[in-house]
Amino acid sequence: MRVQCSICDKIETIDDDTLIAKRLRNRPIHTYMCQECHDRITKKTEERLKTGKFTFHPGQQKKEKVKK
């Protein structure tokens, strides 16, 4: 089956019998990530973990909804 990477829009052909193909058949196509992007994201995540810097947003408060 043909799949499109959700990040770089690269179209790849994967074997229908693979687990990922079976998963994609039940889910929207945009859940697919090509190996290249997967590697890049893994690397980024690892680098972030190494530095120990996480970007949370502690100052972000939920705005109360004002009823009309």
Which residues would be at the binding site for Zn ion (CB under 5 A)? 5, 7-8, 10, 34, 37
In whole angstroms, how close is the CB of 14 to Zn ion at the nearest point? 13
State which residue, 12 or 47, has the beta carbon closest to Zn ion.
12
Contact (CB, 8 A) for 32 and 38 = no
State which residue, 3 or 5, has the beta carbon closest to Zn ion.
5
In whole angstroms, how close is the CB of 49 to Zn ion at the nearest point? 22
DSSP secondary structure of 1-49: -EEE-TTT--EEE--TTSHHHHHHHHS-GGG---HHHHHHHHHHHHHHH
State which residue, 37 or 67, has the beta carbon closest to Zn ion.
37
In whole angstroms, how close is the CB of 23 to Zn ion at the nearest point? 17
DSSP conformational letter for 53: -
